Amino acid sequence: MYELIQVSEKSYYFQSPAKVGLVRLNDTDVCLIDSGNNRDAGKKIKKTLDSKGWKLIAIYNTHSNADHIGGNKYLQEQTGCRIYAPALNCGFTNHTFLSPSFLYGGYPCKDLRHKFLLAQESRAEYLSGEVLPEGFEIIELPGHFLDMAGFRTPDDIVYLADCLVSRETLEKYQISFLYDVAAYIKTLERVKEMKAKMFIPSHAAACEDITELAQYNMDKVFETADKIMDICRKPVNFDMLLQRLFSEYKLTMNFEQNVLVGSTVRSYLSWLRDMGKLEVEFNDNIMFWKIID
């Protein structure tokens, strides 16, 4: 774990639970794309940098999920590097308590205040084209989480963050976390058309052609939407809908999955309602979802 893999003359990634990109800017200076899931990840990355005599100049966060910013604080303290994050994600990176609060929809109880959802805070600045190294390009990848970003390097390596996940992950968990379903579908449509020397998704194998995997992720979105629509053929409240989805996909409910999948299902419901496919009714002060005949 945390083996450094070279994919071009200057671009690398750390093989880790959420891949961390590394790009050499010159003989001594490097930047990272994300920083791993916790302090220990930061320590392992720093050890590799020291062994090669490289100096960390900056971390470019793709988004503010804890598994992508978990090493920020340690690496910033150890190296003095600057950290950049896309717009709304910048606030979440500086004030990480926002993440579990956002997911839960209120003050998060202690079951949700742990490193899986709550990273250590770091000092992040707004990401823009002006702060990128020469030849870098920001790729807007909204849908998975707020205004998530990916990056294309000067040697044509594309880091795709969490805009898609591996087949194995989808087959195991079935429902991938999404914030904006409509934006996510548009992102996948664009990603399908991309060309690059190599694609580095955070939660899938590096590959030269991303088209098939992007389509598979999109197919799973429509499959989940169809299941939700089918469950809503009869009026159903949110908790029963979530329970039915977990049962049909043979998933196991716990606090984290309730929050993550529950947030995602709410996003699906918003999308389907905005498209005029679902409506709500209130009965005895309970909100029920149902398809529009």
Q: Where are the domains of the chain?
A: 3-221, 231-291
Q: Can you state the angle between helices 72-79 and 39-52, rounded to 10 degrees?
A: 40
Distance CA 14, CA 16 (A): 6
With cut-offs at 50, 70 and 90, classify the pLDDT of residue 29.
very high
The contacts of residue 190 (CB under 8 Å, 6+ apart) are none
**pLDDT tens per residue across span 145-170:** 999 999 999 999 999 999 999 999 99
Of 142, 88, 76, the residue nearest 150 (C-alpha) = 142
For residue 25, pLDDT over 90 is answered with yes
The contacts of residue 187 (CB under 8 Å, 6+ apart) are 140, 141, 142, 143, 144, 163
Chain CA centroid to CA 72, Å: 16
Q: Residue 161: left if φ>0, alpha if ψ -120 to 50, beta else—which one?
A: left
The contacts of residue 249 (CB under 8 Å, 6+ apart) are 174, 175
For residue 293, pLDDT over 90 is answered with no
**Which whole number is the average pLDDT over 117-142?**
97
Give the per-residue pLDDT at 122: 97
What single-letter amino acid sits at 30?
V
Instruction: Tell me the two tokens of residue 40.
Output: 């220990």
Give the per-residue pLDDT at 254: 94
With cut-offs at 50, 70 and 90, classify the pLDDT of residue 53.
very high
3-221: CATH topology: Metallo-beta-lactamase; Chain A (3.60.15)
For residue 1, pLDDT over 90 is answered with no
- Best CATH choice for the domain 231-291 from the list 2.60.40, 1.10.20, 1.20.1270, 1.10.10: 1.10.10
**pLDDT tens per residue across span 225-265:** 999 999 999 999 999 999 999 999 999 999 999 999 999 99
**pLDDT tens per residue across span 265-279:** 999 999 999 999 999
For residue 203, pLDDT over 90 is answered with yes
Give the per-residue pLDDT at 43: 97
**Which whole number is the average pLDDT over 197-220?**
98
Question: How many Cβ atoms sit within 10 Å of the Cβ of residue 237?
Answer: 14
Distance CA 16, CA 2 (A): 5
For residue 27, pLDDT over 90 is answered with yes
